[in-house]
Amino acid sequence: MDIHSLGYVRLESTVVDEWRTFAHDVLGAVVTDTPGGGLHIRLDERPMRIAIVPGSRDRLIGSGFEVRDGATLAAAVAELQAAGVAVKEGSAEEADDRKVERFVAFDDPNGNPVEIFFSPVVDGDDAQLPFGGGFLTGALGMGHVVLPSADIEAAFDFYTQVMGFRHRDSMAVKFPNGMTVRLRFLGCNPRHHTIALTQTPSEQGMRHFMLEADSIKTFGRTFARAREAGVLKTELGQHSNDEVLSFYLFCPGGFELEYGVHGRHVDDSTWLTRDLTALSYWGYWPVTKPAA
């Protein structure tokens, strides 16, 4: 299977209005209301990279991975079915809501909802982001997702052997409580990883997703807005795997977002997979809010 990139994420939310404010005021994205009472969040030339769907829970309802064309999608479906995966064809109305020509949906071995699509809508307009700057997308996709995987080896086999992701790095992180958590980092384009698998559970069905700024200036201004809004989870830091300079922030409904800049690009012809023991080179100190 030939996956190009992460094209979008779809999030069910109980606090749609909070997402509208957060996406515009903190992320500096363009927000559009949808007929069903949800939101489309725009980062670049595509009208939708993040969909917020009103519902009774706050959870990930779809990670959308892009393929080249209809023939590639058909081949992907055949490979999934050969592997015993139940695949559901999206309706024309559902595809229109995702701003794509066609998509299919299925669950990975740990029950994480996955979609594969081709031919996204591109309207030719600049994003007109409210604070200027931009997001690093294009050939790298919108960023990455970190998916909870209680059976991490089953997930690893599925994403590498069935979906064709390439193993970039692994990591075993020991936390202060003595628990050691295993992670796997998987890529499909020059971005170091498009998927990370973790044994750590998540009530939202996603540990976090990541967006990358186009410049250090854009990055710094977003950090300042997040600090002013009181939504920072961590201070700045630098991870040991993709070497991205980043920070984490709280999103509405309990979701978390990593916002980074200058992430590592991988050349698969020379890359050697590593088993890392340090999550970061430095930083990511928790933000301590002042006492009320």
Q: What is the domain-level CATH number for residue 145?
A: 3.10.180.10
- Give yes or no: residues 75 and 48 share one domain: yes
- Tell me: do 109 and 211 sit in the same domain: no
Separation CA 142–CA 123 (nearest Å): 17
Asked whether residue 65 is domain-assigned, the answer is: yes
Is there a single domain that holds both residue 107 and residue 142? no
Q: Which domain does 279 fall in, by range?
A: 138-283
pLDDT 10s digits, 21-60 = 999 999 999 999 999 999 999 999 999 999 999 999 999 9
The per-residue pLDDT for 181 is 87
Which two three-digit tokens encode residue 39? 């939101």
- Closest C-alpha to 259, from 288, 231, 291: 231
- The percent of residues above 70 in pLDDT, for the chain, comes to 99
Examine residue 129 and state whether it is found in any structural domain, yes or no: no
Indicate the helix (H) or strand (E) that contains 176: none
Mean pLDDT of 101-105: 98
Closest CA to 17 of 38, 36, 35, 34: 38
Give me the pLDDT at residue 288, please: 81
pLDDT computed for residue 292 by the predictor: 46
pTM of the model: 0.95
Residues whose CB falls within 8 Å of the CB of residue 101, separated by 6 or more in sequence, listed in order: 70, 95, 117, 118, 119, 120
**pLDDT tens, residue by residue, 148-188:** 999 999 999 999 999 999 999 999 987 777 778 899 999 99
Number of domains in the chain: 2
Does the pLDDT value for residue 290 go beyond 60? no
Give residue 190's Cα distance to chain centre. Answer: 15
